[in-house]
A and B are shown apart, each in its own frame.
Chain A
Amino acid sequence: MQSTNKLLISVAGSGKTTYLVRQALTVSDSVLITTYTEANEREIRKKFYQINGCIPSNVTIQTWFSFLLQHGAKPYQGSLFDGKINGLLLVNSASGINYKNKQGIAVSFSEEKNFKEHYFSKNGKIYSDKLSKFVIRCNEKSDGSVIRRLAKIYKNVFVDEVQDLAGNDLEILKLIFKTDIKTLLVGDPRQVTYLTHHERTNSKYKNGNIKGFIEDKCSGTCNVDEVTLRLSHRNNADICSFSSKLFPNLEKSQPCECLECRSTPDHHNGVYIIRSCDVEKYHLMYSPVVLRHQLAVTPEWNFGNCKGLGFNRVLIYPTKPIVQYLKTGILTKTVKDGSTGKIKIKDTLDTAKFYVALTRAKYSVAIVYDYTDETFIDGITKFSFE
């Protein structure tokens, strides 16, 4: 039987947001489009205006967290917690820490004994990493009312950048699959720049293994499509092949060959490395968009926030691990855990963020590094004005 739920695996620049918006425009009943970052939420809105001139009244766009708050937590929180939820507190690490023990390991408030402290900050904001767990609990306590209510409100739920979802988020998706709601998930496993939270639940499916989750846990309720969105309309062949090196285990991305996509300028295409003394002149000549690891100030972008955006040319300020990778091409290293003595394999750099940064560009990527005569991995050209 053809399932009404679909996961589309995409590559960067394949136009997945455009695809999502066009799909949304074909349905006449209620649609919820949700995504993790606010930047992408804005991007979806913008796409609607570009394609359709307006956002139809049957379409609701909201971020994953605001969706969870409005439809997941608040309607049936009464069975768990009677107070007012004053919004969301974004946390980057485990929240609700009670104390640190002698070894310096954080011990958190337990859900059973310190329910309120486990989920909420002192001023009544719910911790972002616990929100989806809270929703799952609400649904359990209310006998499935949360999901039942949702199914009455939305006939379609579309999730963009689904690779960002983790842990209990995936459990929520699983529950939605079992309803009459038609779901459409699109995501790029290479672009896990943020995770909604870090948790043991479903931890083997984080870091972009949403496909694994769907195949292992939701077989029969959701189909996986890796074909529709496999071509990049944005990156040229050089950028495609260079960026694909970051994920040797995944299918290499391919540039779309249609004329419209490939109307490239006749010079300065590809991946370059540039000395800082040349940056000013480079700016005047090519006006690239600057991408930084952090602390970007408009009109510059952080690697993380520019997901979903496309620029003609970008100028990247790399981190040390990125430079190291560009020199050696080594993606992983083995590390010995200090306390347990176990040997673990770790990434040498934040591949996802670097991948995102690289794949923003249509024509050229320039990486700022004061090179001398060292060698770099294949695909990089040393740039200079001489």
Chain B
Amino acid sequence: MHISKVIISNFKSYRQPFCLELEKGLNILVGNNETGKSTILEAIHLALSGLSNGRYFINDLSEYYFNYESVQEYLSSLASPSPLPPPEISIEIFFAGEELAVFEGNGNSTKQNECGLNFNIQLAEKYRGEYNEYIALGNISALPIEFYEVNWTSFARESITPRKIPIKSAMIDSTSNRYRNGSDIYISHILRNHLEEKDKNGLTQAHRRLQTQFVNDDSVKKVNDIISSLVGKGTAEKSLKLTVDLSSRDAWESSFLTSVEEIPFHHIGKGEQAIIKTKLALEHKKSKEANILLIEEPENHLSHSKLNQLIKDIHDKCIDKQILISTHSSFVANKLGLEKLVIIENKIPLRLKNLKNDTQEFFEKLPGYDTLRLILCKKAILVEGDCDELLVQRAYMDKNNGRLPIEDQIDVISVGTSFLRFLQIASKIGKPVNVVTDTDGDVNSLKVKYAEYLGAGAEDSIKICYDDIIDSGDLLLANNKPFNYNTLEPKFLKANGVKKLNKILGIDKNEDDLHLYMKNNKTSCALKIFETKEQIQFPKYILDAIDK
């Protein structure tokens, strides 16, 4: 039993229904800051437990959980002739597995026979009258949240309570949410999920006995005698005394403290806390319930070695557990396996496995680092080799007061000849990418190669930059093959002239010799150009590529 799919609508930054398919075992969400990774974890945890930030969501319901645009649109529509219905939040969790027939039905947005539950925050039917009166008053500037209610229903359209949900979630993040006594809410929650009903009741009873013992203690009795004698004067019938609150069923939860080697849990280091919570949640072994681990950015608070240890734990235990990790550390993502990666960008989830077959294999063999650079940057400039990379960087710096492109979250990535594979990912996630490529004198075949990204129907976010002027000359290489005038170095030479280049490189050669020299000493030439104090010119297609 595991979660196979989540559909989120109108929750925080997710306005349109956002569908995320999850695999059994490990799932890694990667994406830049502000792409909504944590919102996904939060939504799943909320729908499964009713908790948000460690508190019962129902007491905390506010406008800020709703998508901002939809609330604004709704509010501004109220004064217009065609008011919109009040916005609703919906989180649908789909279960895989045959054991949960009670949750089966077609009461979900796909209308298919599925197994799972709906979590809804909507205007309460019972308050419709009050809502109508409120709206009639006009001049509404905030969502009338007091008329909202939170509902759980199974796909069989049956109302359920979060207690009945067979998949429990354990949220592990770096924020700490505590009960009034300081005990951490999440660790209590995780511990409670471990306990069978019988053990839980046993604990409640033991807690009650403890309280009774307290009341029957001699010194407490003495205090009570004093109190009742104080009040007793005049009103003899009714006695007043000190007692312990026995009301709540799970009172133990808020009065017990979890401690590690005698030290209260919340006093140990944050990193250690995260590791313990993760380990506990990984050990969850209840037979009738499954459990999903939601881990938010494990790289926070952890040293490199601790992170390694945590990742090893996760990696070893994830076979029979479902785990959802959000991260923007390429280290974490790479360690745990690229095939588990879900890229979140522009509210579009992409798995590497959804790429064309050979492309997927290609990225599986790659160290993974470059893939993540593409995913995590704001914009990428793809170049063929290290020299091109240096020249593009220099061009960018010259144009932007000496700022490196990476400082503006623009990553220049050298990809060899694999442009098309990177473009496949980029177009799937809508990442803006500029490609800097040589024509090698054949513009037509280049146009064929990039047909998908050039001309009509091409995506705006992807720009192919090349020089459409074909240069030629009679220089021959040592093996009598013609020299290729249509790569970066000859184009650079053309832009700056022989004299300038000799000065930059600290040599004195004629044009043909310069061509050969630059071809044979690519890297050192590129470095010299990168570091030179001279004013330099760049071919137009390079300038196009760094243009914003």
Q: Find out whether the CB atom of B106 lies under 8 angstroms from the CB atom of A76.
A: yes
> Does B44 reach chain A (CB closer than 8 Å)?
no
Q: Find out whether the CB atom of B98 lies under 8 angstroms from the CB atom of A76.
A: no
Q: Find out whether the CB atom of A78 lies under 8 angstroms from the CB atom of B101.
A: no
- Contacts A75-B104, A75-B105, A142-B106; is A152 near B98 (CB within 8 Å)? yes
Q: Find out whether the CB atom of B98 lies under 8 angstroms from the CB atom of A71.
A: no
Contacts of A75 in B (CB 8 A): 104-107, 155-157
> Does B113 reach chain A (CB closer than 8 Å)?
yes
> Does B145 reach chain A (CB closer than 8 Å)?
no
> Does B111 reach chain A (CB closer than 8 Å)?
yes
Interface residues of A in 73-93 (CB under 8 A from B): 74-79, 84-85
Instruction: Return the CB mask of B102-129 against A: 1 if under 8 Å, else 0.
Output: 1011110001010000000000000000
CB distance from A111 to the nearest CB of B (A): 20
Q: Which of B105, B111, B157 contacts A149 (CB 8 A)?
A: B105
- Contacts A70-B156, A74-B156, A74-B157; is A153 near B106 (CB within 8 Å)? no
Contacts of B107 in A (CB 8 A): 74-75, 77-78
Q: Which of A77, A79, A84, A152 contacts B101 (CB 8 A)?
A: A152
Contacts of A79 in B (CB 8 A): 106, 111
Contacts of B98 in A (CB 8 A): 152
> Does B158 reach chain A (CB closer than 8 Å)?
yes
Cα of A152 to Cα of B157 in the assembled complex, Å = 17
> Does A223 reach chain B (CB closer than 8 Å)?
no
Contacts of A84 in B (CB 8 A): 157
- Using CB atoms, name the residue of chain A closest to B106: A78
Q: Find out whether the CB atom of B113 lies under 8 angstroms from the CB atom of A145.
A: yes
Q: Which of B101, B113, B155 contacts A153 (CB 8 A)?
A: B101
Cα of A293 to Cα of B113 in the assembled complex, Å = 47
Cα of A74 to Cα of B108 in the assembled complex, Å = 12
CB distance from B200 to the nearest CB of A (A): 15
- Contacts A75-B107, A76-B113, A142-B113; is A153 near B102 (CB within 8 Å)? yes
Contacts of A85 in B (CB 8 A): 157
Number of interface residues of B (CB under 8 A): 13
- Using CB atoms, name the residue of chain A closest to B105: A75
Q: Find out whether the CB atom of B156 lies under 8 angstroms from the CB atom of A78.
A: no
Cα of A150 to Cα of B156 in the assembled complex, Å = 11
Interface residues of B in 61-120 (CB under 8 A from A): 98, 101-102, 104-107, 111, 113
Q: Which of A70, A76, A78 contacts B158 (CB 8 A)?
A: A70
Contacts of A149 in B (CB 8 A): 101, 104-105, 156
Pair count A-B, CB < 8 A? 43
Interface residues of B in 479-497 (CB under 8 A from A): none
Contacts of B106 in A (CB 8 A): 75-79, 142
Contacts of A150 in B (CB 8 A): 101
Q: Find out whether the CB atom of A78 lies under 8 angstroms from the CB atom of B104.
A: no
Q: Find out whether the CB atom of A78 lies under 8 angstroms from the CB atom of B102.
A: no
Q: Find out whether the CB atom of A74 lies under 8 angstroms from the CB atom of B111.
A: no
Interface residues of A in 42-97 (CB under 8 A from B): 70-71, 74-79, 84-85
- Using CB atoms, name the residue of chain B closest to A71: B156
- Using CB atoms, name the residue of chain A closest to B157: A74
Contacts of A142 in B (CB 8 A): 106, 113
Contacts of B156 in A (CB 8 A): 70-71, 74-75, 149
Cα of A145 to Cα of B157 in the assembled complex, Å = 15
Cα of A74 to Cα of B102 in the assembled complex, Å = 11
Cα of A242 to Cα of B455 in the assembled complex, Å = 97
Cα of A60 to Cα of B511 in the assembled complex, Å = 93
CB distance from A132 to the nearest CB of B (A): 18
Contacts of B157 in A (CB 8 A): 74-75, 77, 84-85
Cα of A70 to Cα of B113 in the assembled complex, Å = 16
- Using CB atoms, name the residue of chain A closest to B155: A75
- Using CB atoms, name the residue of chain A closest to B107: A78
Contacts of B102 in A (CB 8 A): 153
Cα of A77 to Cα of B108 in the assembled complex, Å = 11
CB distance from B230 to the nearest CB of A (A): 46
CB distance from A105 to the nearest CB of B (A): 36
Q: Across chains A and B, which 6 residue pairs bring their CB atoms closest together, nearest first?
A: A75-B105, A152-B101, A75-B156, A78-B106, A74-B157, A153-B101
A–B Cβ pairs within 8 angstroms, 19 of them: A70-B158, A74-B107, A74-B156, A75-B106, A75-B107, A75-B155, A75-B156, A76-B105, A77-B106, A77-B157, A78-B105, A79-B111, A84-B157, A142-B106, A145-B113, A149-B105, A149-B156, A150-B101, A152-B104
Beyond known contacts A76-B105, A77-B106, A84-B157: 17 more, CB 8 A cutoff? A71-B156, A74-B157, A75-B104, A75-B106, A75-B107, A77-B107, A85-B157, A142-B106, A142-B113, A145-B104, A149-B101, A149-B105, A149-B156, A150-B101, A152-B98, A152-B104, A153-B102
Residues of B within 8 A of A (CB): 98, 101-102, 104-107, 111, 113, 155-158
